[in-house]
Structure 1
Amino acid sequence: MMQPDLQVLVQEIRQIAREEILPRFEHVGFALKQDGSLLTEADLATNRRIATFLQQQWPEIAFLSEEMEREEQACLLREADALWCLDPLDGTSNFAAGIPLFAVSLALFQQGEVVLALTYDPVRDEMFSAVRGQGAWLNGKPLRCQSSEFALRNAVAIVDFKRLSLPLKQALMHQPPYGSQRNLGSCVLEWAWMAANRGNVYLHGGMKLWDLAAGTLILAEAGGYACTLQGEAVFKPALEPRSVVISPDKALFAAWLQYLQENQ
């Protein structure tokens, strides 16, 4: 199968997000899904437009979205050789609350690997992209992780406490090993920001496939470091949530992972 042209994808995803998401920001209501997460008109409209575009351009590639039923998602992961994986609006809670931190994220799987990825932040007009073996880019310019020269005690940490174990939450709250802590509320943006050296260490207790798929490739191609709390590769073409530990800095990554594993 011929790999889709990244520039064609970048141009179309950018246009769809700017037409379907931005005009609805601070102007639409929301509904609750069965799992308690939010759903807005922007999610659905973006999902429809991107699904239609991908099907027209590359009809041979199957399509999986966050908005599908779990049984359909599982079937696609089992049976498709090539598969798009879309999160049409990650950070829906932020979007509904008027907080300008949300993004569209798309990844292409082939034989169980992510081979192409993009994450687009329409508020800042920032397009993060990557192709396996070719590099990562931010608005077309090469994206490279760098050493921060920080010790862990000085690090800015991005941490989502929601799905962490109680002992680890307590350790982080009572004896934090880092200098200060943030949380963006959008997993796909957090991956992209780590690849862009925005923050020093990162932790999430359990991400879904569409939250992590594009980010794993963008970060890897930028030269960053990531694994689960158990030390495994983060990406797995499966629906079970995966914990995520990240740093753009090799020394910080090692110190951060050691702390987390000692305090689980």
Structure 2
Amino acid sequence: MSPEPSQSDPSLKSLAALMRELAGAEILPAFGRVQARSKADGSLLTEVDLAVQERLINALERLTPGIPVLGEEMTQSAQQRLLSGASPRDPAAGEAGAFWALDPLDGTSNFACGFPAFAISLALFRNGRVELGIIHDPVRDECFSARLGQGAWLNGTPLNSAQNCERLADAMALMDFKRIPPGRLSGLLRKGAFRSQRNLGSVALDWCWLAAGRAQVYLHGGQRLWDYAAGRLIAAEAGVVTRLLPPGLAESTEQLTLEPRLALAAAHQALFDQWWEHVGLPWQD
């Protein structure tokens, strides 16, 4: 059983029910049947992304009045204003610098093409850190959730990342090749580096599957706040060792930013150390 929330937070159970309802009404009926268009950054957008974002924002305004929502499909200027205003140093900012970070449909390209790997991702920030994360996979009806310092769960069952993989050569790797410098690929893929490799096309599910022990190491070259906020908390609370790094640097950072971050993770510290050495950061390509 997941712990009781603080008085100012909705329960994980109520958030899971809300996500399941939205998925049944907006996402699953349109799966593989919706038209997508390209955004300025080349990623895809559908009417489903916008509908889920609008409905979730309205629901969260009722559940947690005074806590704004930073959604992926908002304009960048609106996102930046909200992020700046949510600084814990700003006494005028909502509830102690609190805000929700929402990706209404992580894996839109998968969704539009009929590939069954996408999710709704939602995280609650307070004072610059994530306190709650919840991710709903509509296809598998799997709801991953976590509270800072209290654990992570899959449909209410506690999660622990796989601890029985000691050698990198035995690990399943999740890697996104699109955002890795081409000159680094041959070294990453050298024979014997890991057992096998997958790319789900959904950052939120990448983190959740790490938490569930379905993979043991992870590398993604550029994900944004709404991509990693909920999933990284879920993975960390399940025991996964994680780092977020600015491109070209080897020092981790927890600074809130809209800029992309390289993500590196492994199921436990000994495996992370092997993975870190293999990946060879920082990249200067």
TM tier, smaller:
over 0.9
1:99 and 1:222 map into 2 onto residues whose CA distance is: 27
Q: How does 1:52-131 map to 2 (within 5 A)?
A: 52-80=58-86, 81-131=97-147
| 1:147 aligned partner, one-letter code | Q
Identity of paired residues, percent? 48
| 2:120 aligned partner, one-letter code | V
Q: Which residue does the alignment assign to 2:271? A: 252
1:26 and 1:262 map into 2 onto residues whose CA distance is: 38
1:63 and 1:263 map into 2 onto residues whose CA distance is: 33
RMSD: 1.7
Q: CA deviation at 1:148?
A: 2.5
Q: CA deviation at 1:166?
A: 3.2
Q: CA deviation at 1:228?
A: 3.3
Q: TM-score, normalised by structure 2?
A: 0.88
Q: Which residue does the alignment assign to 2:26? A: 20
Q: Which residue does the alignment assign to 1:8? A: 14
1:196 and 1:254 map into 2 onto residues whose CA distance is: 20
Q: CA deviation at 1:6?
A: 2.1
Deviant stretches of 4+, over 6 Å: none
Q: Which residue does the alignment assign to 2:57? A: 51
| 1:138 aligned partner, one-letter code | L
1:136 and 1:182 map into 2 onto residues whose CA distance is: 23
Moved more, 250-259 or 103-112: 250-259
Q: Which residue does the alignment assign to 1:193? A: 209
1:49 and 1:243 map into 2 onto residues whose CA distance is: 30
Q: How does 1:160-239 map to 2 (within 5 A)?
A: 160-175=176-191, 177-228=193-244, 230-233=249-252, 235-239=254-258
2:164 and 2:49 map into 1 onto residues whose CA distance is: 36
Q: Which residue does the alignment assign to 1:159? A: 175
Provide Cα deviations, 1:17-66, integer angstroms capped at 9, x if missing partner: 22110011022111111111111121111111101100122121011100
| 1:99 aligned partner, one-letter code | F
Q: Provide structure 1 residue ranges, at least 5 long, that are not aligned to the other structure.
A: none
Q: Provide structure 2 residue ranges, at least 5 long, that are not aligned to the other structure.
A: 1-6, 87-96
1:234 and 1:248 map into 2 onto residues whose CA distance is: 20
Gap change, CA 1:217 and 1:164, over 3 Å in 2: same
1:236 and 1:256 map into 2 onto residues whose CA distance is: 24
Q: Is the 8 A contact 2:121 2:204 kept in 1?
A: yes
Q: TM-score, normalised by structure 1?
A: 0.94
Gap change, CA 1:137 and 1:235, over 3 Å in 2: farther
1:33 and 1:262 map into 2 onto residues whose CA distance is: 30
Q: Which residue does the alignment assign to 2:93? A: none
